[in-house]
Amino acid sequence: MATRCEWAGTEPLMVAYHDDEWGVPTHDDAALFELLTLEGAQAGLSWRTVLNKRVGYRAAFAGFDAAAVASFDERDVERLLGDAGIVRHRGKIESTINNAQRVLEVQDDRGSFDAYVWSFVDGAPIVGAWRELGEIPSSTAISTALSKDLKRRGFRFVGPTTVYAFMQAAGLIDDHVVTCFRHGSR
């Protein structure tokens, strides 16, 4: 009998995220920027904590419109440091603004952020064949390559583990365990 990945637990927000979003191929630049931001914000925290602040992040960062966020200045940073709807960490806030600027550069260079990130998996999701959560790696050669290239382009909070989690979230990698009803479904 197919179940869901055990990491989703039973909390409705986590279940809905697992069942409806995690691992679904994402091709919208704003949605990809959002996932990269949220995965970077998670560093040192639980995904549950960040997911519970997602609505706050969308409000604080202009719906993840990269052009709007790229224009944020020091006043915006100070305002965001007081916003309980997001993780109030100066480095993470500043990295989001910086990364918005870098997304715009990638769009100029590659046509879209989508085309850029999906080029690392040749345009198609990589489907894992994991039987247990413990088998899933925290990074791979591909996430390391994307991480290095993002860093070369000036992105921040994009280490190989963060980038691997981003790739899973955005559906570049399908790491649902083989017993999960979502394995290989999209």
Considering the candidates 6, 7, 34, 47, report the single residue annotated as catalytic: 47
Instruction: Look up 39 and say whether it is catalytic.
Output: yes
Say how far apart CA 125 and CA 23 lie, in whole Å: 9
Q: How many CA atoms lie within 13 A of 75 on its CB side?
A: 1
* Active-site residue identified among 6, 7, 11, 17: 17
**Catalytic annotation on 17?**
yes
Q: Are 130 and 177 in contact (CB under 8 A)?
A: yes
Instruction: Spell out a b/e string for 84-101, using b for 16 or more CB atoms within 10 Å of the CB, else e.
Output: eebbebeebbbbbbbbbb
Find the catalytic residue in 22, 34, 39, 57.
Answer: 39
In sequence order, the 6+-apart residues with CB closer than 8 A to the CB of 138 are 160, 161, 164
Kindly report the backbone phi and psi dihedral angles of residue 127, in degrees, each rounded to the nearest multiple of 5, phi listed first: -100, 120
Task: With beta carbons less than 8 A apart as the criterion, state whether 48 and 8 touch.
Answer: no
d(CA 103, CA 116): 10
Q: Among all residues, which ones are annotated catalytic?
A: 17, 39, 47
